[in-house]
Amino acid sequence: MTSIAEQRQIFKGADHAFLWKPKLRIPDIYESPANQRAFGKLLDTCDCCSEPQAVFSAIRTLDAHGIKGLGPAAANLLYFIHPTLVCPFNTAIVKGFNAVAGANVKLGRWDHYLAMHQGVLELNREYRSLLSNDLGALAGFLFDVGMARYPLPPLGGSAEPGEAWLKDLDAVREQSSALARQLEDIRQQDVTRTEVQGWLRDLGRALGYQVWIATNDRSRPYDGGKLADGCLVELPVSLCINGAETVPLIDVIWLNADQSVAAAFEVEHTTSIYSGIVRLLDLALGAATPAQRHLYLVAPDARESDVRSQLARPAFSRVTELDIQYLPYEELREHRSSVARFGSGMKPIDAIARTL
C-alpha cells in the first residue's frame, strides 16, 4: 500500500481510499466489518480475474453498498492490478478529463468514474499511437492538463492560440526527448565502463591472476552473467587498510597466488579522475606490497590530457614515485586478445601503457 501511494504526486494520498486509519474517523469503513469485507471482495475479485466485465461488475457491486469514504480513488489500487483496464483517478485527472472532453465528472462517485472511464478508453483508442495500452499514460496527460502544466488546444476560432499551444507541446516533447537522450547516454557510458572492466577481468584471469571487482560493481550484468563471476568474493585481509575504505572500490585488482597485488586499475570513463587517483594512492601508500608500481588509470584516448592535468596537481606530487601509468581504451581493445593468448606477467601491459 505504501509503495503504491508513494508513486509520485499522481498517487499522492491514494492510501486514504483503502487504508482504514483511526484519525480519519469514517464510520462506514473504520467501524463496519461488513463494509471492510465488501471492499476486500472487490480487491480479491479484481486480483483473480482478467476480463474487464468482471472488474466493472465488481466495482458496481461495491458501489451498491454506498460506502462513504470508499469512492473512485480506490481505482488507483485497481489500476496497479489491471493497468490496461482501469484508469487512475484523482482531482487533477478529473479536472483534466473535464477540460479535454467538455465533461462534468464529479469526484467521489463511482457512476461518474465509470462514465469517465468510457471517455478515457475512447480517447486512448483514438490516440493510441501517441499513448500506450497502459492507461497510466493517458492518466498522466490528463493529470498534467488538470494541473495546468500546459494549456488545452483551442476548440475553435483563431489559429493563433492553437499554434502557441503546439509550440508549447513541442517544447514539452523536446524536454522529454532530451531527458530520454541524457538517460540513454548515461546508460551507454555505464555499459562501456562495465565492458572495459570486463576486458580487464578476463585478461587478468587469462594471465593467471586472481581478480577483484569493486564492491559496488560486482552485480553489474556482463557477458550473460555478472561482472564478478569467477572473481574473488572477499578482499584479502592484507588490503583491508585502516582509514582506506576506498580500496575495495578500486575497479579491478589483479592478485598473485599469495594474494599480493600484481596490478590495480581505475577505469575513468566519465567519472572524476581525481577520485580514481586517490583510491590508487590509498592502495599504494597503505599496503607495503612489491607490486605497487603496477598502477593504471584506464580512460578513453580523448581523456589523456585530463589525466595528465590531474596528476600535475601539487597534491599528487608523490605520484611520480609510484609510477602510475595511463592505459588508453584503444590500446587495451586492440591488444587484449594477443596479450591474453601470448602474454605473461605485467610486461605486455606495461608495453601498451603510457608513462605519465
Residue 7's pLDDT is 56
Note down pLDDT in tens along the chain; length 356 residues: 555 555 544 455 445 544 544 444 567 776 778 888 888 888 888 888 888 888 888 888 888 878 877 777 778 788 888 889 988 888 888 888 888 877 778 887 888 888 888 888 888 988 888 888 888 889 888 888 888 887 776 655 555 534 544 554 466 457 556 655 665 665 555 558 889 999 999 999 999 999 999 998 888 888 888 999 999 998 888 777 766 678 888 999 999 998 888 999 999 876 668 788 888 888 887 765 544 568 999 988 878 888 888 877 777 776 667 778 889 888 898 899 999 888 888 889 989 998 87
Is the distance from CB of 83 to CB of 38 less than 8 angstroms? no
Assigned C-alpha cell, 155 = 476548440
Q: What is the pTM of this model?
A: 0.48
At residue 334, the 3 state secondary structure works out as helix
Report which of 7, 18, 5, 13 is spatially closest to residue 47, judged by C-alpha positions: 18
The DSSP bridge partners found for residue 263 are: 254
Domain boundaries, the chain: 9-149, 193-355
